[in-house]
């Protein structure tokens, strides 16, 4: 297939609620009632997963964005929008938005009033001076780039490789417990990337396309797709499919909205998913419900898997998971007998020490039931998928010698090599101790780690502030991490102020590809591509000789072209494109670089017995690890009697973002902890009362919601809270550590391959407190509601 066919304008699928007066068929830019309308597929910032929901941006004669509307030309979102893009104006013109570079003396770190506005030139001069000084003394490996999630910068590896030339691009969540363990599991087991549920997103007639088969049974496992639009999947596609008759199984310790619509909800004890998955495999194999042909011709190691799962009879799993055994049988049978069936595996898979094994059992289930690469099952990306974002420019920018110094590479190659990232937990140790070498300079690439992505955030805070001699923040707003530790602040463009691309699932499983168009200019901001290019050229001109502009760099990285931006300009006019999808590719040699049938694994098959796991020193077959912090440790449970699970999302915020957007904050003004009514009664906690939560690692306060969404052994607490309306000076730091649930979560409890962390399955205790920290919404409105 030629590339031109890739980026064709997507066909529109009109919603019947949309009026006959609409904008279907409009070009990427047009005029309406004296306003210029720009159609765009946004991605970052604000942070979000790369769905690229269609947007229409209405700009007046003075260049001001006056109106934001969902674009009905997008075949997946069809004009629909979540509250965060609806409130985009309030983000862009928020009085707290920062629009100019600033500097601050390193001795004034933590002083919110000590920033001084400077020009980009001065900022670059300061950075160049510090870069040269620090790299001369300590080497380029002494620089860490803090990666994040959901922002383009958050996974923008060229910052590390090409701009700073350090091997230490580092997502700081313990065990990289977010998405990458699942990607690693499918890569090692099936030689492919993200196996998204086939929601007909790439088919021209969507659900009614003749090639599509409606999913009979969808398993939503440790995931809240409606709220999170996970990894670029448009969450409400689940609603679209429910309306068409798809039946649901939900596996989750929490009763979420979807769970109450499920035929079967397995409300398992947090952290026991791998045992559940093994029990499903046990039932499906022992009851002969698996796809014999697929197993015989396309899988490797079935006998060994069959033997291994005998160790987990459903009765044993029922005890471990605290779920009725008949529900486990019913669910496994329903999943195996439905054709097609699909699993949406969520973040919860990654957030446990045996996260890789959780991923492994999930891929095994998809494989032995014959649901890989089938319509309405799991779509598998072929050989051409992805962008090699982490490898782009690596050789020239870092090189083999320096790569060897990547923190953690020697100990955890299965982690570091697959994502070209320094190991999170070992980076913390390096920052704290200077071992294996000192870390002296830092850059926040779309990340607010002290509020969101780091466990024991006070430890990270102290280590960063102490270890780094120089640190740069690049963002749209001030945040606690930058306030605490940066010496230079650089202002970042939002989606309305930039050109760019958006590939669903971060490109490894592209369903739609979208293009961003610049509609407005605000302040002196830059995009990630612009900063990486402009700063990179100053720091290391020799690396950037191949690119004449930031746009050319973007075109090369995202579209694999080098036409001086002309190719981008041409295809971007299509705004959103459906990337052709195909099924049964493994039969035709489209899953392997050598063009042979099969999968890109050493055996050419889906490896139920994993040669890769084996080679990296892990068990080649799945195994369940009882959560270290839990009932397995009765002494601990005496002091911390509740299972703590964290991080369920809301539509109001993207992780630590959006707290200063009044209309969004109004949806969820305070950090909420969910407590079962029985527990609340026992402990004397009333609905709406503030409570203290503590674990062996730390404590925080949140506001109680008394609800049966959690059972009596489980507490669920919201994450990523800070309070931009409060004093930013140390030690308050916008209240960063007061309601920060990560205070209660540890580092250093990952799995054998270096992946996984118990962030959704810890323990805690809880008590009511007399104080109230209720948010004053009038103050939020006063401070952030008057746009500038």
Partner 1 sequence: MATYGLLIDYEYCTNCGSCQVTCKEEHGYPVGKTGIKVLSDGPWKIDETHWNWNYFPVLTDLCDLCAERTEKGREPMCVHHCLSNIITYGTVEELSKQLVDKPKQFLMVPQYNPIEAKGAFVPSSKSTHRAAHIEVQGTGKASYAVHRHDTKVGEIDETEELEGA
Interface with partner 1 (CB under 8 A), residue from 78, 274, 453, 747: 78
The only residue of 89, 151, 752, 760 in contact with partner 1, by rule CB under 8 A: 89
DSSP 670-710: S-EEEE-HHHHHHHT--TT-EEEEEETTEEEEEEEEE-TTS
The reply to whether omega before 41 is within 30° of 0 (cis) is: no
- Given the complex with partner 1, which of 36 and 651 has the nearer CB atom? 651
86 interacts with partner 1 by CB under 8 A: yes
Q: Check residue 81 for interaction with partner 1 (CB under 8 A).
A: yes
How far apart are CB 541 and partner 1 at their closest, in Å?
A: 45
Contact between 495 and partner 1 (CB under 8 A)?
no
Structure tokens at 694: 């503590």
From candidates 462, 666, 699, 726, binder to partner 1 by CB under 8 A: 666
Of 96 and 112, the one with the shorter C-beta distance to partner 1 is 96
Using DSSP, state whether 399 is helix, strand or coil: helix
Select 80 or 749, whichever has its Cβ closest to partner 1.
Answer: 80
Residue in 150, 200, 50 with CA at minimum distance from that of residue 720: 150
Does position 667 interact with partner 1 (CB under 8 A)? The reply is yes
From CA 29, how far away is CA 56, in angstroms rounded?
A: 9
Which residue in this structure is represented by tokens 């050789």?
395
Residue closer to partner 1, measured from CB, 260 or 686: 260
Nearer to partner 1, 573 or 668 (CB): 668
Q: Which uninterrupted H or E stretch holds 606? A: strand 606-607
- Residue 18 interacting with partner 1 (CB under 8 A): yes
The tokens of 43 are what?
A: 């991605």
> Using the rule CB under 8 A, is 2 a contact of partner 1?
no
Q: Is 330 a binder of partner 1 (CB under 8 A)?
A: no
Q: How far apart are the first and last CA of the chain?
A: 48
Instruction: Give me 636's structure tokens.
Output: 């601990």
**Contact flag: residue 780 with partner 1 (CB under 8 A):** yes
Query: Contact with partner 1 (CB under 8 A): which of 69, 216, 619, 748?
Result: 69
Rank residues 18 and 126 by Cβ distance to partner 1 and give the closer one.
Answer: 18
- Contact status: 329 vs partner 1 (CB under 8 A): no
CB of 68 to partner 1, least distance (A): 7
* Binding region for partner 1 (CB under 8 A) out of 6-14, 140-148, 214-222, 703-711: 703-711
Q: Is 74 in the site for partner 1 (CB under 8 A)?
A: no
Express the helix, strand and coil content of the chain in percent, nearest 5 each. Answer: 35, 15, 50
The contact pattern for partner 1, residues 263-282, with x = CB under 8 A and - = no contact, is --x-----------------
Closest approach of partner 1 to the CB of residue 763, in Å: 25
Residue whose CB is less far from partner 1, 55 or 367: 55
Determine which residue in the list 82, 102, 341, 407 makes contact with partner 1, applying CB under 8 A.
82
User: With CB under 8 A as the contact rule, which of the stretches 19-27, 152-160, 421-429, 473-481 interacts with partner 1?
Assistant: 19-27
Count of residues that interact with partner 1, criterion CB under 8 A = 49
Of positions 65, 186, 217, 226, contacts partner 1 by CB under 8 A: 226
CB of 664 to partner 1, least distance (A): 7
d(CA 242, CA 228): 18
Tell me if 79 contacts partner 1 by CB under 8 A.
Answer: yes
| DSSP run (H or E) holding 102 | strand 102-103
* CB nearer to partner 1: pick between 257 and 437: 257
- 3-class state of residue 31 by DSSP: strand
Cβ distance to partner 1 smaller for residue 83 or 139: 83
Q: Exactly one of 42, 45, 70, 232 binds partner 1 (CB under 8 A); which one?
A: 70
Distance CA 600, CA 774 (A): 54
Should residue 201 be labelled a site residue for partner 1 when binding is judged by CB under 8 A?
A: no
Do residues 67 and 520 touch, judged by C-beta distance below 8 A?
Answer: no
Kindly identify the residues of this chain, within the stretch 625-654, that bind partner 1 according to CB under 8 A: 651-652
Cβ-count burial 193-226 (b if 16+ within 10 Å, e if not)? bbbbbbbbbbbbebbeeeebbebbbbbbbbbbbb
The secondary structure of residue 202, as a DSSP letter, is T
Q: Given CA atoms 453, 457, 462, 463 in this order, what sign does their dihedral have? A: negative
Burial class (CB in 10 A: 0-12, 13-18, 19+), 546: exposed
Do 373 and 382 form a contact (C-beta atoms < 8 A)? Answer: no
Q: Least distance (Å) from partner 1 to the CB of residue 265? A: 8
The residue (of 122 and 666) whose beta carbon lies closer to partner 1 is 666
For 64, 166, 214, 388, the CA distances from 59, given in Å and listed in that order, are 5, 41, 41, 36
DSSP string, 146-190: EE-SSSTGGG-THIIIIII--S-EEE-SGGG-SSHHHHHHHHHHH
| Residues 183/415, Cβ–Cβ less than 8 Å | no
Q: Helix or strand or coil: residue 321? A: helix
Nearest distance from C-beta of residue 694 to partner 1, angstroms: 28
Does residue number 17 form part of the binding site for partner 1 (CB under 8 A)?
yes
- Residue 255 binds partner 1, judged by CB under 8 A: yes
Place of tokens 């004034």: 108
Select from 551, 585, 581, 545 the least CA-distant residue to 566: 551
* Bridge partners (DSSP) listed for residue 59: 36, 65
- Using the minimum distance from each CB to partner 1, give the nearer residue, 137 or 777: 777
Task: For the segment 423-482, give every residue that binds partner 1 (CB under 8 A).
Answer: none
Beta carbon nearer to partner 1, 265 or 387: 265
Structure-block tokens of residue 257: 């909205």
Of 20, 62, 113, 210, which one interacts with partner 1 (CB under 8 A)?
20
Q: How many CB atoms lie within 10 A of CB 77?
A: 26
- Check: CB of residue 342 under 8 Å from CB of residue 375: no
Residue from 3, 4, 15, 688 in contact with partner 1 (CB under 8 A): 15
Tokens 């160049």 sit on residue: 128
Nearer to partner 1, 226 or 449 (CB): 226
Nearest residue (CB) to partner 1, 111 versus 775:
775
Query: Can residue 411 be called a binding residue for partner 1 (CB under 8 A)?
Result: no
Q: Can you tell me the distance from the alpha carbon of 295 to that of 99, in angstroms, rounded to the nearest whole number?
A: 57
Residues in the chain: 788
Does residue 87 bind partner 1 (CB under 8 A)?
Answer: yes
Contact mark string toward partner 1, 229..248, x via CB under 8 A: ------xx--xx-xx-----
Q: Residue 698 Cβ, how far from partner 1 at the closest point, in Å?
A: 31
Binding stretches for partner 1 (CB under 8 A): 15-22, 68-70, 78-83, 86-87, 89-90, 226-227, 235-236, 239-240, 242-243, 255, 257, 259-260, 265, 651-652, 662-664, 666-667, 707-709, 777-778, 780-781, 785
């Amino acid at each position: 297939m030629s590339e031109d066919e890739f980026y064709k304008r997507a066909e529109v699928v009109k919603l019947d609620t949309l009026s006959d007066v609409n904008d279907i068929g409009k070009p990427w830019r047009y005029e309406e009632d004296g306003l210029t309308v720009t159609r765009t597929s946004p991605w970052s910032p604000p942070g979000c997963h790369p769905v690229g929901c269609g947007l229409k941006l209405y700009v007046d004669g003075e260049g001001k964005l006056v109106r934001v509307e969902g674009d009905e030309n997008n075949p997946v979102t069809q004009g629909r929008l979540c509250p965060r893009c609806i409130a985009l104006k309030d983000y862009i013109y928020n009085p707290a938005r920062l629009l100019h570079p600033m500097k601050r003396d390193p001795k004034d770190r933590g002083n919110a009033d000590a920033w001084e506005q400077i020009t980009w030139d001065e900022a670059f001069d300061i950075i160049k001076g510090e870069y040269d000084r620090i790299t001369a003394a300590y080497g380029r490996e002494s620089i860490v780039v803090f990666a994040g999630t959901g922002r383009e910068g958050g996974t923008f590896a060229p910052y590390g490789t090409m701009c700073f030339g350090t091997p230490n691009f580092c997502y700081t969540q313990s065990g990289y417990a977010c998405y990458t363990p699942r990607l690693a599991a499918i890569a090692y087991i099936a030689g492919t990337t993200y196996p998204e549920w086939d929601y007909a997103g790439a088919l021209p007639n969507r659900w009614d396309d003749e090639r599509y088969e409606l999913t009979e049974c969808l398993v939503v496992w440790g995931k809240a797709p409606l709220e999170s639009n996970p990894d670029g999947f448009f969450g409400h596609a689940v609603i679209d499919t429910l309306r068409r008759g798809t039946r649901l199984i939900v596996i989750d310790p929490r009763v979420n909205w979807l769970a109450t619509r499920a035929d079967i909800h397995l409300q398992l004890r947090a952290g026991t998913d791998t045992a559940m998955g093994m029990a499903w495999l046990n039932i499906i194999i022992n009851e002969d419900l698996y796809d014999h042909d697929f197993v015989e011709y396309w899988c490797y190691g079935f006998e060994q898997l069959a033997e291994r799962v005998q160790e987990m009879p459903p009765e044993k799993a029922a005890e471990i998971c605290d779920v009725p055994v008949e529900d486990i049988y019913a669910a496994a049978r329903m999943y195996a007998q439905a054709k097609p069936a699909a699993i949406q595996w969520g973040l919860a898979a990654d957030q446990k020490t045996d996260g890789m094994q959780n991923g492994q059992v999930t891929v095994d289930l998809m494989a032995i039931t014959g649901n890989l690469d089938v319509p309405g099952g799991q779509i598998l990306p072929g050989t051409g998928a992805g962008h090699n974002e982490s490898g782009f420019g690596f050789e020239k920018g870092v090189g083999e010698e320096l790569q060897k110094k990547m923190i953690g590479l020697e100990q955890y190659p299965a982690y570091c090599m697959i994502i070209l990232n320094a190991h999170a937990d070992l980076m913390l140790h390096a920052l704290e101790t200077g071992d294996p070498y000192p870390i002296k300079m830092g850059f926040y690439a779309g990340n607010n780690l002290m509020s969101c992505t780091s466990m024991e955030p006070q430890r990270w805070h102290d280590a960063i502030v102490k270890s780094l001699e120089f640190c740069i923040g690049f963002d749209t707003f001030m945040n606690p991490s930058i306030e605490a530790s940066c010496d230079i602040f650089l202002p970042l463009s939002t989606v309305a102020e930039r050109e760019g691309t958006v590939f669903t699932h971060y490109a490894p499983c592209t369903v739609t590809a979208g293009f961003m168009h610049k509609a407005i200019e605000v302040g002196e901001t830059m995009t990630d591509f612009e900063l990486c290019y402009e700063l990179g050229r100053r720091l290391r001109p020799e690396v950037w000789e191949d690119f004449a502009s930031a746009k050319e760099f973007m075109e090369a990285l995202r579209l694999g072209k080098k036409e001086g931006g002309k190719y981008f300009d041409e295809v971007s006019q299509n705004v959103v494109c459906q990337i052709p999808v195909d099924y049964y590719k493994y039969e035709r040699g489209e899953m392997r670089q050598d063009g042979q049938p099969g999968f890109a694994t050493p055996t050419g098959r889906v490896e139920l017995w994993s040669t890769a796991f084996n080679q990296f020193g892990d068990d080649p077959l799945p195994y369940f690890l009882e959560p270290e912090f839990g009932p397995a440790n009765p002494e601990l449970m005496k002091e911390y009697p509740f299972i703590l699970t964290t991080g369920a999302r809301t539509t109001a915020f993207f992780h630590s973002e959006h707290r200063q957007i009044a209309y969004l904050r109004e949806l969820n003004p305070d950090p909420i902890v969910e407590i079962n009514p029985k527990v609340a009664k026992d402990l004397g906690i009333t609905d709406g009362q503030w409570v203290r939560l503590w674990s062996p690692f730390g404590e925080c306060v949140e506001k109680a919601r008394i609800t049966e969404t959690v059972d009596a052994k489980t507490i669920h607490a919201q994450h990523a809270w800070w309070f931009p309306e409060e004093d930013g000076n140390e030690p308050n730091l916008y209240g960063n550590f007061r309601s920060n649930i990560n205070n209660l979560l540890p580092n250093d409890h990952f799995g054998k391959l270096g992946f996984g962390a118990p962030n959704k399955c810890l323990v805690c205790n809880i008590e009511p407190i007399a104080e109230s920290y209720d948010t004053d919404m009038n103050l939020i409105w006063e401070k952030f509601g008057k746009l500038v």
